[in-house]
Amino acid sequence: FQLSDDFPTEDLAGGPYQELPDPRGRKKHRITEEIRKNVSDLRASGMSQKEVAEAIGISEYILTNYYFQELNGGVAQARARALLNLRNSAEGGNVSAQKAWLKQLESGRGVPPVPKAPADPDAGLGKKERALQAGRRKPEGSWGDLIKH
């Protein structure tokens, strides 16, 4: 056995040299924006989780652990992406996109939700705090109404 700068082509038994596999096991899954988008789009198109995992080439376990937001909100995310692309095209001067964007806004989906009534300010207070605030309020009516006979 001689030491040299050349990498050996044969092992000590005379067979072809093979590099040992990585002893640490499988590499960690890398999450990319492209995979996130693909999961969201495939799920929005109606594919099951098993089918999505097979199409992307990952296990169902990895899919459910790393891409749960895309699995649950796939339709909403795909719709939002399409609407944002439509708006960007409309702002860019595309007349057909402008017409489609106006039609979308007129259909009622573009209307902001009705604001909720303001919550009762005393709702989160305890009975002692409510009593203190009631004592600070200016009484309504006359002195005669306040005095009990």
For 67-90, letters b (16+ CB in 10 Å) and e give beebbeebeebbeeeeeeebbebb
Length reported for the chain: 149
pLDDT of residue 139: 67
Tell me the CB-side half-sphere exposure of residue 62, using CA atoms within 13 A.
16
**pLDDT, one tens digit for every residue, the chain (149 residues):** 555 667 667 777 888 877 777 777 777 889 999 999 899 889 888 889 999 999 999 999 999 999 988 888 878 888 888 889 999 999 998 899 889 888 888 876 656 677 777 777 667 788 888 888 887 777 677 776 767 65
pLDDT of residue 75: 81
pTM to 2 decimal places? 0.47
pLDDT of residue 60: 93
Cα 134 from chain centre:
45
pLDDT of residue 120: 72
